[in-house]
Structure 1
C-alpha cells in the first residue's frame, strides 16, 4: 500500500509559488491525502535548515513541500503499523538542538526573533519534528531497508511507462451523516459518580492506593495495566477537559474532582510534572447504555430513513 501511494505522489509536479504572496497570513501549498501542508510549515523548515547550514538543491519552496509530503506518507503508514519512538531520546535531542541553535544564533532572544516565535513554541515544534523524523526513519528501514531511491528517479521511470499501465487514483467521496446517541439515564451517571467519589475517599483515607483501584476497576484497559498511569504528555495530547484539570494538580497525594469527557467519567492523580509535560494516573468509568435506549435510537433512525425515502424532507433538514 505504501509503495503505491508513493508512486502516485511522485507523478505530481511542483507548482508552488505562494511564497511571493506577502499579504497572505497562511495558505495550503500541497495536500497529501487528508493532510494539508501549510506555507508556515515550509517556512519554518526553511529557517531551520538555514540555521543548520544545510543547502537545498533547487527552489526551497518546491523541494521542502516535496520532502514534507513524502514524510507525511511515511507517517501515515507508520500509524497503521503502530510504530513508536523512545520519548526520552526525543526530549534529549530537542534539548541538544535548542542549546546548539541558541549558541549558533547568539542568544535565546535572538533565536525567538529569528523564528518569530517564543522559545516554548520553537521547542514544541522541534520536538514534533524530531519525533516524526525518527518515526519516518523506522518506517523507511522497514519498507526499503538499505535501498536508496530519489523522487527524480521514480519520475523518470514512470515517465517511460505507457499511460494505460499507470495505477488509477481511487475515488474519494464526501458524505453527510445524521447521528442519534442513545440517552443515558441520570441514575446511571449518578451511580458512576458515586463509585468514583468512593474511590477518592479510599485513596484520601489511605485505605487503598490509587494505582490498585485503577488496576481493579478502570475501564481504560491499557493504562489500567500500569496502575492508571498515562506517561508524560503535553497538554495538546490530552482531551481539553481532562488536560485542564490534570495540569492544575500540584499535590501527588490529592485526587481530582470528577471529570467528564467523551469517553466517560474520570478521576485523576498527579504523578510528576516536568516543565510543560505531565505524568498522571486516572480511573475511567463508562456509562452503559441500556438495550431499550439502543432500540429506541435505532427505531428513530429507521423512521427517519423511511421519511427521507418518501421525500418528506431533505437530508440537510434532517
Structure 2
C-alpha cells in the first residue's frame, strides 16, 4: 500500500520502545483504543496532528537482524501467546494469518513517491536482551550489532529519491527501570562492574609493584609485573570502560555506571554517523530517569514514558533543520533542547529523588 502524497509521514522502525501497545492493554483487551492513544506511536500522532501520518513498522521484540530481514520472526513471538490480550494485539498489528514481516520492505512500499518523510529508528536493545544470560557474549557482540544498526540507517537513507526526501531520526535506548529490575539487568551489570573493578585494582597494583618494592624485586620481576598489569588493564578496559572503576571509587552504583558506560560505547559509531550525515538523535539515556515512573514491566515505556518519547520525536520533526548539522536532543528540565553532536557525549549518572 502506498500512502497519498498530500501528507508528510513519520515511520517507526524497530522495537517495543515504539511498539509498546501490548504492554498498555488490559488482560481482556477491552481498552484497545485507549491503549493505542497512550502508546508511543499514538502519542506521536497526537502531538504532530493531522499534517502528518504516523505509520508503524516497529514490532515488539524485534532485533537488528529482524529489521534487516536476516530472519523472519513472527510478530508477537516474544510475548505470552495466549489469551484475549495477545490476540487483540496481533489483530491490530497484523490482521490476517500472515505474521512474518520484513520491516524495511514494508517501509519501502509504504513511502509516498514525493515530499518529506521521517523514519524513527529504535533498535538494538533486543539484540542484547537475548544475551543477558551470557554477559561476555553480550559485550563481545557489540560490534556486530553496531554494524547491523548502521546498515539499517544506510538502507533508510538510500530510500531518498529526486522527488522524495527520507530523513532518519536515531532514537537511543534508555536505561531500564531501576526500581523494578524484572530481567535482572542491574543485578548482572552490578556483578560485571564489580568484577571489572577488582581486576583493574589488581592490575594497577601489579603496575605499581616495581615502584613500591624497588629493592625486593629483580629487574625481570618488575618488567613482568608491569607487562601483566598493563596488558590486563588494557583487556579489562576493552570490555568495561575504566570510568566504571572511577565511579565505584566515588561510591556510585556499579550497575548504573556500567549501564551508562555500555550505552556510550554502543552508540559511539552511531554518533559519528549522525555527525557526518547530519542526522538528529533523540537522547533517551539522558532524558529518562531510571528512578521515575516511566516504565511498564521493567523495560517498556508506560503512558508517561510514551509521552516523553513522543514529545521528543515531535520536537525534532517540527523544529530540526534536516539540511543543517546533526544535533542531539534531550529533555533534562522542562523542555527539549539540543546540542551539536560531539565525540564527548556521555550518559549522565541519574539523580535519585
* TM-score bracket, shorter-length normalisation: under 0.3
Indicate the structure whose relative CO is greater, using CA pairs within 8 Å and at least 6 residues apart. 2
TM-score (norm 2): 0.22
TM-score (norm 1): 0.24
> Per residue, is there more helix in 1 or in 2?
1
